[in-house]
Amino acid sequence: MASILLIEDDPAGAEAMRLGLTRLGHRVRHRADGNTDLAAEIAETDLILLDLGLPGADGYEICRRVRAVSAVPIVILTARSDDVDTVAGLEAGADDYVVKPVTPRVLDARIKAVLRRTVALPQAPQAAAAAPSDTGLDIDRRALRVHRDGVPITLTPTEIRLLLVLSESPGQVLSRQQLLAAAWDQDYLGDSRLVDAAIQRLRAKIEDDPSDPRIVETVRGFGYRFVPPR
Ligand code: CA
């Protein structure tokens, strides 16, 4: 059972989701817009279901506001999966998306998959924390903490998993499908845009210049590569 904050302005859609998820054992609080004390709400929330098109502050803005204070998982509700909105939502910090209308059972499965990723971080190997590299990035695999030039970096569970998987195989190119399988879930039905958006968010936090990445490189046509520290 999860404590879910549902932010959705369509009353009928919201009520259907609230009822369905409540029947499946979740606790759901519904807000029709983002004009709420988000920091207080998040303290009681395991996961946020967020509609993108909202009156007032839209879903992207809310995503950014939440990410400024919290790594709580966010799943965006979108009208079409091929929508550019979906990508923009993922780039704003959402962990995943579902396409409306969605049955409670499918929504429940997606919520559980996202929460599983959040708690079940990869097993940290026995090796001690790596010495800070010339990139200034220090990944403590046991404590699951990342520092850049000595300053702690707040990463969401999705971003930490991705960084751990990439840095486990320095110098090796990993395809988007490999990353999806390793950092998301074995048989996860997500698409590779989740990977691209998470890489972009990760770079914004760990790279000096995210437009000229030196730590996580794009290998055009193949995927991504963690540059071995010198
Ligand atoms: Ca809406």
Q: Which residues pair with 139 in a beta bridge?
A: 146
Q: How many CA atoms lie within 13 A of 8 on its CB side?
A: 26
Task: Give the single-character DSSP code of 227.
Answer: P
Residues 93, 74: contact at Cβ < 8 Å? yes
Instruction: Report CA(145)–ligand 1 centroid distance (Å).
Output: 36
Instruction: Report CA(107)–ligand 1 centroid distance (Å).
Output: 17
Ordered domains of the chain (ranges, CATH): 3-119 (3.40.50.2300), 133-226 (1.10.10.10)
Mean pLDDT for 42-52 is 93
Mean pLDDT for 107-115 is 91
Q: How far apart are CA 33 and CA 28, in angstroms?
A: 15
Instruction: Report CA(3)–ligand 1 centroid distance (Å).
Output: 21
Mean pLDDT for 169-196 is 84
- Assessment of whether the complete model's pTM goes beyond 0.75: yes
Q: Which residues pair with 153 in a beta bridge?
A: 146
Instruction: Report CA(35)–ligand 1 centroid distance (Å).
Output: 14
Look at phi and psi of residue 195 and say left if phi exceeds 0, alpha if psi is from -120 to 50, else beta: alpha
Q: How far apart are CA 180 and CA 190, in angstroms?
A: 7
Degrees (nearest 5) of the Cα angle 88, 61, 48?
A: 85
Mapped onto helix, strand or coil, the DSSP state of residue 181 is helix
Q: Is the pLDDT of residue 120 over 60?
A: no
- Percentage, residues of the chain above pLDDT 90: 52
Instruction: Report CA(55)–ligand 1 centroid distance (Å).
Output: 8
